[in-house]
Amino acid sequence: MSDLLCEINVSDIDLTDKRYKISFSEDDITFLAYSIKETGLVFPPVVRPLSNNNFIIVSGFNRVRALIYNNRAYDNETKILVYKTKSDATDYSCLIKSITALAFTRPLTHSELILSTRRLYRFLDKEEIAEKSSAIFNTKLTVRFIGDLLTLSALPDPALALIHSGNLSFNSAKRIASYDKETIKTFLKIFSNIKASNNIQLEIILHIREMTARDTIKPDNLFNHQEIQNILFDKNKDPGLKTKALRTWLFEQRFPTIFKTRQMVRKKITSLKFSHNIKFLPPQNFESQNVSISFTAKNYTEFETSVQCLHAALENKELKEIFNP
């Protein structure tokens, strides 16, 4: 017997019970509410009856919100159209409905996959989840990937929110998942205040781990350093600028000699006063002696000007010191 299409009172739905909610998004439902008002409800939400004659939402959380929005002055007489599961529906069957309803609408995000896998693991092992993944997630998942998802599911809930927002990449989450609880919390506090790419996040993690190992201190002690506090909680800087400032400070602290050399070389390059179309790049971290020099030219005149500028620099003392420190 399939779910029953019927009308129920909005007041009979427990909106606080989100045990089957998979999506992390709290979308603006204004347009959805307007669409329902104009064209009707195409796909009714699915609800599960409880023993106290109330209901909880299985899928369609935004649709329920939109229906309530359309009836903001609702009372006990306001009714909405829903699919009601059978009274003997199990937690497992309702969970599957909630996941598939979203997964066959759009690909699930990493945070949604993590949350879904965590809940499925109460009923299935990794191999079983992998075997059923195409039918549940609308894509094939390997046992190894499911293992990664389960590892990340053990992280504190704020980690899932950061993964969803992009502040914490999947690879960075895997990296910190093996650390102790306090260290994990420290990294979550850091990444909640900055916005960085996957590679830069991994770089920041490496810098902090190397520095704390070198100085035999805990990451939380480093986090409480006044300079880091000033960077992360500067209300005048956006997350991107905070990331840049943090990377610079961490690099300076981890490689003080290289940092000073880099600053000195940049100062000398600036003194050469090359035109904006000439790029003069010293070796990365000065691990080699190779310098990269390039320029662009739209016409012969620009080409000639750049060549003359480079030729004139040959007699510059600063240029010679860059190549022969």
Sign of CA dihedral 177, 179, 183, 187: negative
Residue 1 has pLDDT above 50, yes or no: no
Using CA atoms, how far apart are residues 206 and 204, in angstroms rounded to an integer? Answer: 5
Burial class (CB in 10 A: 0-12, 13-18, 19+), 215: exposed
Dump pLDDT digits (tens) for 265-324.
Answer: 888 888 888 888 888 888 776 666 788 889 999 999 999 998 998 888 888 888 888 787
Question: Which of 105, 92, 86 minimizes the C-alpha distance to 20?
Answer: 92
Packed helices 110-120 and 126-137: angle between N→C axes, nearest 10 degrees = 130
Per the structure block, which two tokens stand in for 317? 């003392």
User: What is residue 301's three-state secondary structure?
Assistant: helix
| Stated pTM of the model | 0.80
Q: CB of 74 within 8 A of CB of 38?
A: no
Dump pLDDT digits (tens) for 211-252.
Answer: 999 999 999 999 999 999 999 999 999 999 999 999 999 999
Domain boundary among 94, 110, 137: 94
Q: 120 vs 21, 98, 148, 199, CA distance in Å?
A: 13, 11, 14, 31
* 288 lies in some domain: yes
Indicate the average pLDDT of the chain. Answer: 90
* 185 lies in some domain: no
Centre a 10 Å sphere on the Cβ of residue 122 and count the other Cβ atoms it contains.
Answer: 9
Residue 78 has pLDDT above 90, yes or no: no
* 158 lies in some domain: no
Question: Which of 53, 39, 43 minimizes the C-alpha distance to 104?
Answer: 43
Q: CB of 97 within 8 A of CB of 59?
A: yes
* 178 lies in some domain: no
User: What is residue 14's three-state secondary structure?
Assistant: coil
Using CA atoms, how far apart are residues 323 and 98, in angstroms rounded to an integer? Answer: 64
* 84 lies in some domain: yes
Angle at 91 between CA 87 and CA 97, to 5 degrees: 90
Q: How many domains does the chain have?
A: 2
Dump pLDDT digits (tens) for 175-189.
Answer: 999 999 999 999 999
Domain boundary among 94, 112, 137: 94
Q: CB of 160 within 8 A of CB of 25?
A: no
Question: What percent of the chain clears pLDDT 90, i.e. is strictly above it?
Answer: 61
* 127 lies in some domain: no
Domain boundary among 72, 94, 116: 94
Residue 257 has pLDDT above 60, yes or no: yes
User: What is residue 233's three-state secondary structure?
Assistant: coil
Residue partners of 142: CB distance under 8 A and separation at least 6: 130
Region of 57 (left: φ > 0; alpha: ψ -120 to 50; beta: rest) is: beta
* 166 lies in some domain: no
Residue 260 has pLDDT above 80, yes or no: no
* 222 lies in some domain: no
Which of 4-18, 126-140, 214-228 shows the lowest per-residue confidence on average (mean pLDDT)?
A: 4-18
Sign of CA dihedral 223, 229, 235, 236: negative
H or E element: which one contains 82?
strand 79-84
Residue type, 34: Y
Average the pLDDT over 31-47 and give the result: 87
Task: Find the domain containing 306 and state its range.
Answer: 271-323
Using CA atoms, how far apart are residues 89 and 238, in angstroms rounded to an integer? Answer: 48
Using CA atoms, how far apart are residues 219 and 231, in angstroms rounded to an integer? Answer: 16
Max mean pLDDT range (15-29, 102-116, 281-295): 102-116
